[in-house]
Amino acid sequence: MIASLWRSSLRYLWSHPWLFGLSVVGVAMGVAMVVSIDLANVSAQEAFELSAETVTGRATHQVRGAGDGLDEAVYRQLRIDHGVRPAAPVVEGYATVPDAGRTFQVLGIDPIAEGPFRAYASQDAGIELDVFMARGQTALIAEPVAEALSRAPGDTLQVRVGGRDRALIIAGLLAADDERSRQALESVMVVDISTAQELFEMQGRLSRVDLIVETDAERDRIEGLLPESARLDRSEARTETVEQMTRAFELNLQALSLLALVVGMFLIYNTMTFSVIQRRPLIGRLRALGVTRREIWRLILGEALLIGALGTVVGLALGLVLAQGLVVLVTQTINDLYYVLTVRELTIDAWTLTKGALLGLGATLLATVWPAREATNAPASTVLQRSAAETSTREAAPRLALGGVFLGLLGGGLLLIPGDSIALSYAALFLLIIGFSLLIPLVITGMATGLRPVMDRLFGLIGRMAARGVVTTLSRTAVAIAALVVAVAATVGVGIMIDSFRGTVEVWLEGQLQADVYVQPPSLVFRQADATLDAGVVATFRAAEGVRDAHTVRSVHVETNHGRSELVAIEFGPSTEDAYRIKEGDASVWDRLGSEPVVIVSEPYAYRHDVEVGDTIEIQTDEGRAPFEVGAVYFDYASDLGVITIGRPVYNQYFEDDAVSGLALYTAEGQPVEGLVERLRRQVPDGQEVIIRSNQGLREASLEVFDRTFTVTVVLRLLAVLVAFVGVLSALMALQLERSRELAVLRANGMTPRQLWQYVTSQTGVMGLMAGVLAVPLGLILATVLVYVINRRSFGWTLQFNVTPEILLQAVGLALVAALLAGLYPSYKMAQANPADALREE
Amino acid sequence: MAADATAPPQVQLRGLTKGYQEGEQFRTVLDDLNLTITKGEMVVLLGRSGAGKSTLLNLISGIDRADAGEVILGDTNLTTQSEHARTLFRREHIGFVFQSFNLIPTLTVEENILLPLELNQRSSSEDRDRALHFLEEVGLRDRRSTFPDRLSGGEQQRVAIARALAHDPLLILADEPTGNLDYETGQQVLDVLDRLVRQAGRTMLVATHDHDLRAVADRVLFLQGGTLDVYDPSSVPAS
């Protein structure tokens, strides 16, 4: 690169600090969003892997039961009768320490068998067996945890499991060999196996038996020894399955952050196009002096690289800060929807940062290719006229629109391709955005013509000039407006998607919640009823005064031919049929559900596993693997992982389990619901915490969780709004600042600073209004694709499209307010400046 | 120093034709034009606005391509060259003076003058001293660190002349060099051109409608209706 050209380029950027600064901010925000989401996801994954690694230890395989447990006799038979060693029994679950507000993964083990698996929990680690095992109800926690809780060995620790409070004595402290283990152990509490069985009400049952199996022959032998109700899995496979639960959720977050990057790209495109168009005469001069096209190309790309590099550095730093907050929201959502996860600290992943840097630089360069091409094609001429460029832009508008229609159709066509590729959906979305942008020059020309008489009536000559000015400088205004439209439309699209989701869930809850009162034990994962109700409580409540009818629900996790799934066994109540809205299948399924091996599956389950009515699902039961026919598919928005629902009588035939996860009560006629809730609360025995909610209360709680799980999306949308705002500001401010000479001419001709302000703000206002209005249809298109295609391909849900006028008005308002603000600085600057300075040649 | 009639030809135009499509009509601006300019000659090209003076300069410099005919500068036939080759030729062998000065606003006076050398990757101190000497010649050495927007029109044009000479080009092309200047300043610029170009024996073609430029010309051409009429400077009609 020729030093003078580079110097000239740098000075140009330096002499346009607003333009330069805002483009850097544009890139930075795009990069920050992608990086922060990625870091939050990676941190959650890392925390999960760390915890999985810690509790799995060196086990290569696990023996698990059919439902939520395995008969401990299986362990005895394997180890003692058949000499399968090493083998270690495990009972695991989660417990909270209310004092500290923290959740621990509780690992119930036999320290004598632990040696080969988890050194930290074995005799070798110096655990005093006489204290740990003989005293009963003891626990081991990591040293830093003990410090944080101000506890020492011998002290009592209050823990809560399934709503019941228990006191454990700290028998010792877990020591870690390295930093990684230290981190992992901070979320683990080790107890004796019998203590764990008592805590989780799993007397006589185990969560699993860990094994180290080195040969295929050994594996086959063990498989042959297992009863029908048990199965042998690779430990890694189990971790992978759980990890995959959050895949769609994480993918969608990433996609949303990429959408922000696309908006960022438009901003960069706007900036670079603007700076190229503005310098057309200068580039023409350089070309006349003998600067080659390649040198101009390098010059423009060099500038972009500088903006991209600065934006990327700022974006990476901003991303790290943002990730600290987002990781909390992501963890919260995972905890609400999928599994218990504790993220103690942010994982700074080098690949994420590299990816962010590559995206930042790549997106900037990609967005610059077209403007750079425009610059290199600028004719080298001594007589270059700006008006010629504007005329050619106006002439090109119909052609661009035609191209836009073609790209739009291409995008639409891609969406019609069957399949579940989310990447393809986003590619189609991108084409639709570009296609729509190409329509903008033609559309705003028409809009300006329509607006002229209105502006004339409102502001007279100045109004007319403002409307006309949008078309006379079309080469600049079209790009700026297109950038704004895309930025604002992205916020509309995501906003409508969230509203549609919420609206659908509200309607669904209305139908789903038919009973008057719901009783359940507290659950660490809101949407998973993994704890059980005390049998005494169930009996008392069923017989309580004022209760007309009741039905129970039991939720367990089972192995199926489609992997591990949630199985919900329902008792039939007076309005069970009304609670389920059938999507496929007919009402006759209800009769069969009570007596035949028939299940109904939720819509996401059917979508995820490609299951249809009439198909068979094989479920691992206590009676061995059994086939169940899919009788119907029903609408359900509680879990994106999908649910299999079975009648309780049939469940009881296949599973030795009489536990209850939830109870729904119907009040007797004339019985006030709140009165019944109060009475039931008084009847809860000491020691068990039970959540009793009215229909209304549960609905509100469900929506509260919904809103909480969408907080991260709302935050992303707000960030996109912020990027859009910066975009509006930078595009319009640059446009006005660049017109300082024209404004100086007006000032020289007697325009007062007040009139100048009116002129500038009415023009930016017109552009903001145009952008806001055009963002509405594009926003609706984006929302349609997000709701009907991307959401469906990610989760399998059918959502009702829900557009509120507020969201559309918000879009127009956002564009308008930002546009008016963008006019303030240039009009202030011009009002302060001496017109003579601006009028000087160059 | 007057031009030597026996000197080798520096510029040869053979059958040069150029036109533009204007809506439905095709307008021929230059029609089968022939011209030879010898080394050291200063030729003034007169003509009304829109007569095609700038178009002719663009063709000679290789900025634009003719519809027909040849442009030969020195030994190089520009007509057969690619756009890239023409650009490289231009930066090495042609100096430009524009009506609106066309200095690079983000470079200082000194950097503007050194730009042609940099473009040609000539960085010897000899070259630099020589280029900067022109700055002294145009009387602006004390303004070397100033940016163009702080200079008057006349000063900017003097810098532009120094820039056009900096890399010792084969040919200097000037397009209305006094067009944006008042009479007195225009005269000063003419003096500079006369001293640094004509008297120094450099070859120059000046497109203008300023008849005062006849005074420094070896030959005057009049472009009208796409063809050239040649006059002796002393016998050019007044308008």
How confident is the model over A94-129, as pLDDT tens digits?
A: 888 887 777 788 899 988 888 888 878 777 766 777
Chain B residues with CB under 8 Å of A384 CB are: none
Chain A residues with CB under 8 Å of B58 CB are: 381-383
Q: Check residue A842 and give its pLDDT.
A: 39
Residue indicated by tokens 């600065």: A310
Alpha-carbon distance of A727 to A723, in angstroms, equals 6
Q: Indicate whether A485 and A350 sit together in one domain.
A: no
Which of A617, A632, A642 lies closest to A584 in space, CA to CA? A632
Burial class (CB in 10 A: 0-12, 13-18, 19+), A285: buried
B-contacting residues in A 290-329 (Cβ below 8 Å): 290-294
Give A3-32 pLDDT, tens digit per residue.
888 888 888 888 878 778 877 887 888 788
Amino acid at the residue B76:
T
Q: Indicate whether A740 and A598 sit together in one domain.
A: no
Residue A291, CA distances (Å) to A5, A325, A383 in order: 9, 49, 17
Contact predicate A239/A56, CB 8 Å: yes
The structure tokens listed for A417 are 């391709």
Q: Check residue A209 and give its pLDDT.
A: 93
Stated pTM of the model? 0.71
Please name the residues in contact with A127: beta carbons below 8 A apart, sequence gap of 6 or more.
A111, A121, A140, A171, A172
Chain B residues with CB under 8 Å of A291 CB are: 87, 91, 119
- Nearest residue of B to residue A842, measured between CA atoms: B149
Q: Indicate whether A625 and A503 sit together in one domain.
A: no
A83 within domain boundaries: no
Domain finish residue from A649, A664, A689: A689
Q: Check residue A762 and give its pLDDT.
A: 86
Q: How many CB atoms lie within 10 A of CB A315?
A: 31
Q: Indicate whether A663 and A546 sit together in one domain.
A: yes
A214 inside 8 A of chain B by CB: no
Residues linked to residue A563 through DSSP beta bridges, in sequence order: A560
Contact predicate A723/A26, CB 8 Å: yes
- Nearest residue of A to residue B92, measured between CA atoms: A290
Contact predicate A422/A451, CB 8 Å: no
Mean pLDDT on A236-243? 72
Burial class (CB in 10 A: 0-12, 13-18, 19+), A205: buried
Burial class (CB in 10 A: 0-12, 13-18, 19+), A442: buried
Which of B53, B39, B58, B55 lies closest to B169 in space, CA to CA? B39
The structure tokens listed for A578 are 């009304």
Handedness of CA B206, B208, B213, B217 (dihedral sign): positive
Alpha helices (runs of H) in chain B, residue ranges in sequence order = 53-61, 83-93, 109-119, 125-137, 153-165, 183-193
Domain finish residue from A354, A384, A414: A384
Tell me the backbone φ, ψ of residue B227, rounded to 5 degrees.
Answer: -125, 165
Q: Indicate whether A555 and A658 sit together in one domain.
A: yes
Q: Check residue A240 and give its pLDDT.
A: 72
Cis preceding-peptide flag for A379 (omega within 30 of 0): no
Distance from CA of B235 to the nearest CA of A (A): 30
Domain count, chain A: 3
Instruction: Report the mean per-residue pLDDT for chain B.
Output: 86
A329 within domain boundaries: yes
Q: Indicate whether A487 and A462 sit together in one domain.
A: yes
| Strands across the sheet containing B171-175 | B94-97, B171-175, B204-208, B42-46, B219-224, B227-231
Which of A117, A128, A115, A123 lies closest to A170 in space, CA to CA? A128
Q: Where are the domains of chain B?
A: 39-63+82-235
Q: How many CB atoms lie within 10 A of CB B197?
A: 23
**A488-497, A529-538, A783-792, B105-114: which range is least confident on average?**
A529-538
Q: Indicate whether A828 and A702 sit together in one domain.
A: yes
Give A151-187 pLDDT, tens digit per residue.
888 889 988 887 778 889 888 888 777 777 777 788 8
Contact predicate A101/A155, CB 8 Å: no
- Topology of domain B39-63+82-235 in CATH is Rossmann fold (3.40.50)
- Nearest residue of B to residue A15, measured between CA atoms: B106
End-to-end CA separation in angstroms for chain A: 25
Contact predicate A255/A422, CB 8 Å: yes
Mean pLDDT on A610-635? 91
B100 inside 8 A of chain A by CB: yes
- Nearest residue of B to residue A282, measured between CA atoms: B104
A784 within domain boundaries: yes
Q: Check residue A88 and give its pLDDT.
A: 92
| Confidence label for A618 from pLDDT (cuts 50, 70 and 90) | very high
With CB atoms and an 8 Å threshold, state whether A288 touches B61: yes
Q: Indicate whether A672 and A705 sit together in one domain.
A: no
Domain finish residue from A646, A663, A689: A689
Chain B residues with CB under 8 Å of A383 CB are: 54, 58
Q: Which domain holds residue A673?
A: 522-689
A9 inside 8 A of chain B by CB: yes
Give A420-449 pLDDT, tens digit per residue.
787 788 889 889 998 999 999 999 999 988
A367 within domain boundaries: yes
Which of A666, A829, A650, A663 lies closest to A756 in space, CA to CA? A829
Give A505-558 pLDDT, tens digit per residue.
888 888 888 888 988 887 766 555 567 888 888 888 888 888 888 889 898 888
- Contacts within 8 Å (CB) and 24+ apart, A408-414: A408/A432, A408/A435, A408/A436, A409/A435, A410/A435, A411/A435
Amino acid at the residue A87:
A
Alpha-carbon distance of A378 to A6, in angstroms, equals 19
Residues linked to residue A63 through DSSP beta bridges, in sequence order: A209, A232
Give B146-177 pLDDT, tens digit per residue.
988 888 888 998 899 999 989 889 899 998 88
Distance from CA of B215 to the nearest CA of A (A): 25
Is 0.95 exceeded by the ipTM? no
B185 inside 8 A of chain A by CB: no
